[in-house]
Amino acid sequence: MSASLSIDGVCAEFPAGTTLLSAACSLGIEVPSPCHDERLKPSGACRMCLVEVVGTERLAPACVTPVEEGMEILTASPAAVATRRTLLTLVAAHYPAGAVERFPDKPFHRLLRDHGIAATGNGGTETEPPFFRDGTHPYLDVDMSRCITCHRCVRICDELQGQFVWRVWNRGAGTRIQPGIASTLVGSDCVSCGACADTCPTGAIDDRSFVAQGSPERWTRTVCPYCGTGCEMLVGTRGGRIVQVKPAPASPVSKGHLCVKGRYAFDFVRAPDRATEPMLRANGEWRRVSWPDAIRAVADGFRRIRAESGADSIGVLGSARATNEENYVAQKFARVALGTNNVDCCARVCHAPTAAAMKAMLGTGAATNSFDDIERAAAFLICGCNPTENHPIVGARIKQAVLRGARLIVIDPRETELARYADLHLALRPGTNIPLFNALAHVLVEEEFIDGPAVRERVAEFEEFREFIRDWPPERAADIAGVSAERIRQAARLYAKQKPAMCFHGLGMTEHLQGTEGVMALVNLALLTGNIGRPGGGVNPLRGQNNVQGSAHMGCEPGSLAGYIPLGQGRDLVESVWKAPVPRAPGLNLMQMIDGAKAGSLRALWAIGYDVALTNPDAAVTRAALSKLDFVVVQDLFLNELAREFGHVFLPACSSFEKDGTFMNSERRVQRVRKALEPHGSSRSDWEIICDVARAMGCGAQFSFRSAEEIWNEVRAVWKAGAGISYARLERGGLQWPCPNEEHPGTSLLHAERFPHGRRAPLKRVDFEASAEAVTPEFPFLLSTGRTLYQFNAGTMTMRTPDVVLRPGDTLDVSPRDAARLGLRGDDRVRVRSAHGEAALPVRIDSRVKPGELFATFHTAQVFLNRLTGPGRDAVAMTPEYKVVAVSIEKLLPATQPAAPLPP
């Protein structure tokens, strides 16, 4: 249905339900609307968008009035303008004049100017009750004397972020908005996303960077450099520096929203310790050298070691922080310039089990659905991930869906934020995913909650699976996982009955001894219930870093070429494009490289944007292995722990704000990364550095690229499923693969009709193997590790921003019961010991952690938490067992008193 009408003499047709305000905006007709934000439900509160509907007696608020057939609208009739002026005059009488003078481009200030109305207020210096003011937040500046009570800050916090921080107090002239009962934003439930500042039309809530440095001179649309959500952002620059970041409007991923890291944590780009010059180490000291000297040193070092020990004595690590193009060039360098398949990336230590499990079962090792399916889902199964902290925009969208009525099951040892909203929280013991998922499958099969048609038509090996799963009743799993049999049954029934049901999972599923098999057990549930190939359903990994999906997909994986195509399957096409052979010897993954270094068979390593010294598990063993390497090249923004301790050559790389390219997010969406700044110092993009080394090694013909787009076009030539994703198309927005040609719209839903390997996907029969990391009298606690909202991975970027005010460092989270029993208080420093090492860090008492279990973040080199983690690895993907380690705690006392182990 549609309606034809005229607005200010312009005739047009609009879909039914379109508001007059939206219709006018689409015609380029501006209607004042200070209380309106496209991201929010219309409220009609300010009445400044009143327009005349010819033939009616009253003016109509354009933001809440739908179009009707035959309407004639006058947006600037004498009556409408007079009413607006009256309303503006009333507000301006109490509005601080100084704010208009200082920030003339704020939307409300422009509105006053356009209507010739002067603000005559004094900023509320003598008003009662007083206005809320807060200058203590590291990113937000608040002065509510400039508030016009449009309530946009309240509504966006409620409707977009779901944090419910801002509250309206009192009525009439005494109406005030402030964060609940907290005296500061930092002391409230605020997560510092900045949505309130983004929507505020006056600057009553504003970015401190904008207040201090003024308006940007230039805006560049690009993609966030943090998690794998792939939020789009507008980067505002002034004088060669980033001064403000805003969410990109109408982004299909982030919907005009950003988290604290994406919006504010950009100061690392110009951090004082940013390494911007190439360096060589001589006699233990770093010295600056020219780029030609550095390139020559790298090429000579690799040539020497290859001549002495063969190409397979060298390894290359791509980067989840680098672009698709740069990772493609990195793996091509390994295979063409060096002649080895020893190439990997940090996907190895996070979601390699997901890729292996889903490829084995479904034929594609990536998310089956899209983030837009969040709004289509009737239920969610959130497994081993904490989206509101680690993927905050996805987390906020899930939270909003649940607030609208979607059902929610959370499977996690801790009570995450989403667990507080859940119908069911299954707080299993760390390391017991498989018993729990097998028990859920048992209930589905034995109580006949399976989707019969889907199982008959799309599932293989069901009878064998039925026989296997009989041995996993909830009572058996309950004893192992610590979740009652009744709650397991309730969760299985809820997941089966509420369709479609969408599953998200994270590293709490993959970083285990049976990480790959755990994901297989999860896929079983989706297949049994018909949630594969269904909008609003599927199995969807939340990838940890901005381009970890892309880095492996571009071929930074020893057994696969670009497109995650096995070497044997893709060799002929790739060799025809490269005009060079692809090595035939099997390559080493990251963990095998460490093993090889320890054994002496791997002698050299090029680590691009990846600090394996800090982030690899079992740090003592990792460092001992790295110390045996003869030649280590580190390419990064900062002199990281790998460089400090083991590096021989340091190559300064650009940040993603300083180059062009593409990233690939968790939902298979390729998006453009655009250069917003010139490279800092002498830093260069990763692909330029790699190509220079390749040319120095005699491979100039294969590495003659002149731009990121040229590299991408070669990717399209070797990856048929991405052939339709051109830069020209990406200028109009991201595309999801498969996208085989330029007429193809991209694929938001996988496996709708069939799987890449056929019409049926097999169920997997997975038995449980307990971790060796079990509690003992010596090590009476189970520790899990993970991220927090305000810091990111190894802290390379966030620890160099004001995020440190919001989260200064790592903590050990202890349950109140354990803390009371052990005499621990918040901020007490403790020594945590495992069979593999020890680390010291402060205690945080946290009721979300169960007694007998601990949780710690791993963001700082000062704590170096991976001294504690052990050698356990997933049997298929060799991903480390970061999520389970048995430990003890010792309270750190003054040096004159010996520390005694705390009792279990």
pLDDT at position 181: 81
Cα dihedral 870→874→877→882 (10° resolution)? -40
Each residue's pLDDT tens digit, 805-856 = 999 999 999 999 999 999 999 999 999 999 999 999 999 999 999 999 999 9
- Cα(870)–Cα(622) distance, integer angstroms: 10
Each residue's pLDDT tens digit, 478-512 = 999 999 999 999 999 999 999 999 999 999 999 99
Task: List all residues 6 or more positions away from 394 whose beta carbon is below 8 Å from its beta carbon.
Answer: 229, 371, 374, 387, 504, 542
Each residue's pLDDT tens digit, 386-434 = 999 999 999 999 999 999 999 999 999 999 999 999 999 999 999 999 9
Instruction: Write the DSSP string, 581-598.
Output: PPP-SPPP-HHHHHHHHH
- Cα(345)–Cα(713) distance, integer angstroms: 22
Report helix, strand or coil for 464: helix
pLDDT at position 322: 97
**Among 15-24, 148-157, 509-518, 893-902, the least confident range:** 893-902
pLDDT at position 246: 98
897 pLDDT band (50/70/90 cuts)?
A: very low
pLDDT at position 319: 97
* Strand segments (E) across 447-496: 459-460
- Cα(876)–Cα(361) distance, integer angstroms: 14
Each residue's pLDDT tens digit, 169-202 = 888 888 899 998 889 999 999 999 999 999 999 9
Cβ-contact 607, 634 below 8 angstroms: yes
Strands 140-143 and 133-134: antiparallel
- Cα(671)–Cα(689) distance, integer angstroms: 23
pLDDT at position 899: 41
CA distances from residue 156 to 41, 106, 140, 196, 349 in whole angstroms, order as listed = 9, 18, 16, 6, 37
Residue 255 falls in which region: left (phi positive, over 0), alpha (psi -120 to 50) or beta = left
Strands 604-608 and 459-460: unpaired
pLDDT at position 280: 98
Kindly tell me if the per-residue pLDDT of 1 is higher than 90.
no
Helices first, then strands: H and E counts in the chain = 32, 38
Task: List all residues 6 or more positions away from 346 whose beta carbon is below 8 Å from its beta carbon.
Answer: 317, 319, 320, 545, 548, 551, 590, 610, 615
Kindly tell me if the per-residue pLDDT of 902 is higher than 50.
no
Q: If you average pLDDT over residues 747-768, what whole number do you get?
A: 96
Neighbours of 78 (CB within 10 A): 9
pLDDT at position 657: 98
Task: List all residues 6 or more positions away from 214 whose beta carbon is below 8 Å from its beta carbon.
Answer: 238, 243
Kindly tell me if the per-residue pLDDT of 895 is higher than 60.
no
End-to-end CA distance of the chain: give it in Å, rounded.
Answer: 69
- Cα(854)–Cα(785) distance, integer angstroms: 9
- Cα(217)–Cα(238) distance, integer angstroms: 5
pLDDT at position 549: 96
Cβ-contact 561, 698 below 8 angstroms: no
Cα three-residue angle 578-580-583, rounded to 5 degrees: 115
